[in-house]
Amino acid sequence: MTNTPESATTATRELPQPSERLKELRAILFDLDGTLIDTVELIRVSFRYATEKVLGQAIPDEITMANVGQPLRQQFTDMAPDHVEELLDVYRAFNRAHHDELAHAYPDTLATVKGLAAAGVRMGVVTSKGGPTAMHGLELFGIAGYFEVIVTADDVPVHKPDPYPLRYAADEMGVPLEYCVYLGDSPHDMEAAISGNAISVAALWGAFSAADVLAPGPEYALDTIGQLPALLNGSAERFAVPRRETR
């Protein structure tokens, strides 16, 4: 007899409301870029440099930044399918060279993560970034050791907005995804959380506008990562996203 992952069995049952599931929270899963660490300007200038170097002109930011949150290879495939490998090489070289100069920690990230860990909250990271670069960012800002699992684009065959990476992380932790928060700053993050029945929490401080992040319909939204403990400790209603009326 095979064991069924806890997250897979929960999905077949009627789920309580998100506010009730928060009371029985099993883990928090975080996106990385634009959520835990501020790499927005680094990503923006890396795209400008790579596209200008390889294609002869920089692709406008509104195009290059539209799919941040998906794997870089997929983004370049959509942008310029005949130049993917060259774009990847140039982007990655520039990004590595300028990472520590242009990447920053959000003001409350370390304190929030430390506080949650001290309270016994289990945590993981689910990112579409490659493994070495993701680990470098987490280690640079002193937060790598707080996460039980770190799932990168290198670890899974399917990527956000599919919920697969989130469910993979939850299964690795042995917890039901439906009782995990997923906090992210992109529409792709929210689509993955919602379709996977995680407790979806929009980060409004990252690469995307509030309208874009809220468009998929997440259950909660935060203005800063420092508000996360309040969401978990009885103030969920304060952060609830109003439901749209349907006709």
- Whether residue 150 has pLDDT greater than 80: yes
Dihedral sign of CA atoms 19, 222, 152, 186 in order: positive
Question: 103-116 burial string, b = 16+ CB within 10 Å, else e?
Answer: bbbbebbbebbeeb
| 179-212 confidence digits (pLDDT tens) | 999 999 999 999 999 999 999 999 999 999 999 9
Instruction: Please state the pTM of the whole predicted model.
Output: 0.90
Rounded to an integer, the average pLDDT of 232-237 is 92
User: Does residue 89 have an active-site annotation?
Assistant: no
- Whether residue 12 has pLDDT greater than 70: no
**What domains are there in the chain, each with its CATH number?**
16-38+104-239 (3.40.50.1000), 40-102 (1.10.150.240)
Q: Given this model, what pLDDT does residue 244 score?
A: 67
Cα–Cα distance measured from residue 91 to residue 62, given in angstroms and rounded to the nearest whole number: 17
| 84-128 confidence digits (pLDDT tens) | 999 999 999 999 999 999 999 999 999 999 999 999 999 999 999
- Whether residue 41 has pLDDT greater than 50: yes
Cα–Cα distance measured from residue 22 to residue 39, given in angstroms and rounded to the nearest whole number: 29
